[in-house]
Amino acid sequence: MKILDVLQTDTILPNLRATDKKGILEELVAPVAMRTGIEDRRLVRVLMERERLGSTGIGGGIGIPHGKIDQLASLVLGVGISHQGVDFESLDGRPTHIFFLLITPENAAGLHLKLLARISRLLKNDLFKEKLLAAQDAESILKAIAEEERIIQD
């Protein structure tokens, strides 16, 4: 499965404004809540519970907050860019700028792991990360992802 198979333009936020972890999660889930009909607070609660197990700030300026929720019919993906960077309790202790939000149905563990792996693989490319950080709008982010997915064919 490719990222563009599930990513929707309305869940891409090129200018996150929050200055802390909870605020970033609240911003990221807002369009997902509208798309799914699941209450914002419930989505944030699921993500914060996952964060208590260990930060999804994986280092290198990247955060991949993720969680599973039983009410969800199909997985939902969001992307957000924080130009100022946020303390996301990242493994390397550095600010996090690029966020990929993944919320999957409770019974979709295999799909959840596959998409996490694909996102991680894309984000290993520093040039790709630079393109995301330079993107001014959702369309530019989609274009950068499309170009990178063409490069890393499965």
Structure token digits, residue 33: 């809540």
Q: Measured in whole angstroms, how far is the alpha carbon of residue 8 from the centre of its chain?
A: 12
| Nearest Cα to Cα of residue 123 among 97, 88, 104, 85 | 97
**97 a catalytic residue:** no
Inter-CA distances, 140 with 14, 60, 84, 114, 121, Å:
9, 21, 19, 24, 20
Catalytic residue among 66, 83, 97, 112: 66
CA-based nearest residue to 99, from 26, 43, 2, 35: 26
User: Quick one: angle between helices 21-36 and 40-53, nearest 10?
Assistant: 130
CB of 58 closer than 8 Å to CB of 120: yes
Residue numbers annotated as active site? 66
